[in-house]
Amino acid sequence: MHDWTEETDALAEQVIAYARARTRLDPIPLNAPRTSEELDSICGQTITADGIGGPRALELFADVLEPASLSVDYTKYLSFVPAAPTEAAVLFDLVVGACSIYGGSWLEGSGAIWAENQALDWVRSIAGMPEGTGGVFVPGGTIGNLAAMVAARHSAQTTRPDPGSPWAFLVSAEAHSSVKAAAQVMGADVIAVETDEQRRLAGPAVERALAEHGDRVCGVVATSGTTNLGVVDDLATLGPVCRAADIWLHVDGAYGGAALATERTRPLFAGLEHADSFIVDPHKWLFAPFDCCALLYRDPDAARAIHAQHAGYLAFLDAYGDWNPSDFAIHLTRRVRGLPFWFSLATHGTDAYAEAVDITLDLAAYAADAISRLDYVELAHEPSLSVVAFRRIGWTAEEYQAWTEATLEAGLAFVTPSRLDRAPIFRFCFVNPRTTTAEIDEILSALA
Ligand SMILES: *Cc1c(COP(=O)(O)O)cnc(C)c1O
């Protein structure tokens, strides 16, 4: 099976034609989930001793399996955080797969890693972090948060007296679920800090929490763009408080960090230059395919000190350059997953990114305005990024749920309910510049 035959050649044509057709599909269908039993009965056993052949496997994927998988880039997919990879990024993902590059060490992946580092450095520059900041692309915000929090704790462990109880992170109640999950993996605690009237974590509240718990706090985790509402914590007051207390400041911008790309929203992030670590997921709002999270450390050595793996068979790598991406998170083998993002950035230039993010901000502003004009919906929070949270006046949680199921089944939209202050809300999250205002109107009409 490791040779290129006429059959392989024909399969290549088919696979590339399929990828090409899917990438240019317009409109993109939402698709719909099926049960495992349904898929069993339609597809049967696909793993057999003799193989079913590439053309048959591709046919099953095209006819059954892809239609049973939602298209996250569907223009009326406004749930969670969707995605809208550029054509250039998607096409280059095929190339990355074809090239068998090991992205863990400079020796093995220097060219690809150099390109990834240029893309990371653009993120650093829009974040306002100092030169010398560096890091690595990891699979997602969850791993990015975990890796940064591990580095934060290690930094405290090496410079501060042992607190005699688990180290803790100060976080706001609006922090992403992955922050708590990371703390759990680490055996660390999270201490919830109250937010201000705009639901932001801010310096004064953190200062009070430090006065109470300071000797066991190893880091503050701020969010620059909460998933539920798009709230950017008050980094301008958090930064100085963390610096004064010599406490690691990690900023989770998995969703919202992309808004640094445009001048319009960049001022919301003032203070980010104080961060010791920062993440943003290009696979969310920076138009890269899954899976891709940019993880940056102000002092990469602080991350290397805990994350670098040591073994006899790895020592050889240390002789070649000092930038081994494996050293900056919990991983060894890694796909050069930053390359599709790099290729698209290099292709289109950063102005195009600013414009695309601006379009999604315009969509959010349009939706917020439309909602405030209608009498059966109301804004639940004034949007600052591209999340628009609103209530359907008079509906119970069951009615929210039923509407979502019905619209998904009808292939009309994918808008799931969320909760705010224990009450149901809907939220639109705009990351797809192909979404139109007519589609927003259509969804709002369906809620009448
Ligand atoms: C999505 C998200 C995460 C988790 O990122 P994954 O890439 O899904 O692992 C973390 N933090 C925030 C704020 C997010 O929106």
Instruction: Judge whether 242 and 249 are in contact, CB under 8 Å.
Output: yes
Tokens of 437: 């205002």
Per-residue pLDDT, 241 = 97
- Take atom 12 of ligand 1 and give the residue whose Cα is closest: 254
Tokens of 125: 């520059």
Mean pLDDT by 10 residues, the chain (448 residues): 96 97 95 97 98 98 98 97 98 97 96 98 98 98 98 97 96 96 98 97 98 96 98 98 97 98 98 98 98 98 96 82 93 98 98 98 98 98 97 98 96 96 97 98 98
Per-residue pLDDT, 315 = 83
The DSSP annotation for 169-190 comes to EEEETTS-HHHHHHHHHHT-EE
Among 145, 149, 171, 178, residue to substitute to test ligand 1 (most atoms within 8 Å of Cβ): 178
- Take atom 2 of ligand 1 and give the residue whose Cα is closest: 254
SS3 assignment, position 248: strand
Nearest 5°: phi and psi at 295?
Answer: -115, 120
19 Cα to the center of ligand 1, angstroms: 27
Instruction: Judge whether 217 and 169 are in contact, CB under 8 Å.
Output: yes
176 Cα to the center of ligand 1, angstroms: 7
What is the atom index within ligand 1 of the atom nearest the CA of 255? 15
Q: How many CB atoms lie within 10 A of CB 38?
A: 12
81 Cα to the center of ligand 1, angstroms: 9
Tokens of 267: 């001022």
Per-residue pLDDT, 314 = 83
- Please, is 130 exposed, middle or buried when counting C-beta atoms within 10 Å of its C-beta (0-12, 13-18, 19+)? exposed
The pairing of strands 377-379 and 387-392 is antiparallel
Among 81, 176, 199, 278, residue to substitute to test ligand 1 (most atoms within 8 Å of Cβ): 176
Tokens of 126: 């829009």
42 Cα to the center of ligand 1, angstroms: 34
Instruction: Judge whether 328 and 147 are in contact, CB under 8 Å.
Output: yes
Among 223, 255, 292, 330, residue to substitute to test ligand 1 (most atoms within 8 Å of Cβ): 255
Cα(397)–Cα(151) distance, integer angstroms:
41
Cα(257)–Cα(353) distance, integer angstroms:
13
Residue positions counted in the chain: 448
Q: What domains can you pick out in the chain, each with its CATH number?
A: 101-347 (3.40.640.10)
Rounded to 10°, the helix 339-348/106-127 angle is 50
What is the atom index within ligand 1 of the atom nearest the CA of 145? 10
Pocket of ligand 1 (CB under 6 A): 81, 140-142, 145, 176, 178, 223, 227, 252, 254-255, 281, 293
112 Cα to the center of ligand 1, angstroms: 25
Residue 21, C-beta contacts closer than 8 angstroms, at least 6 positions apart:
none
Amino acid found at 427? R
Find tokens 């009965």 and name the residue.
41
User: Could you give the count of Cα atoms lying within 13 Å of 195 in the half-sphere of its Cβ?
Assistant: 19
SS3 assignment, position 117: helix
Cα(139)–Cα(185) distance, integer angstroms:
17
Nearest 5°: phi and psi at 424?
Answer: -70, 145
Instruction: Judge whether 390 and 425 are in contact, CB under 8 Å.
Output: yes
Tokens of 200: 């932001």
CA distances from 27 to 21, 224, 394 (A): 12, 32, 33
Cα(219)–Cα(276) distance, integer angstroms:
10
Q: Which of 90, 81, 43 is CA-nearest to residue 62?
A: 43
Cα(176)–Cα(223) distance, integer angstroms:
8
What is the atom index within ligand 1 of the atom nearest the CA of 283? 7
Query: With b meaning 16 or more CB within 10 Å and e meaning fewer, what string describes 349-372?
Result: eeeebbebbbbbbebbebbbebbe
Per-residue pLDDT, 110 = 96
250 Cα to the center of ligand 1, angstroms: 14
- Take atom 3 of ligand 1 and give the residue whose Cα is closest: 141
Q: Which of 79, 53, 63, 3 is CA-nearest to residue 31?
A: 63
Among 72, 79, 138, 142, residue to substitute to test ligand 1 (most atoms within 8 Å of Cβ): 142
- Take atom 7 of ligand 1 and give the residue whose Cα is closest: 140
What is the atom index within ligand 1 of the atom nearest the CA of 225? 13
Instruction: Judge whether 402 and 392 are in contact, CB under 8 Å.
Output: no
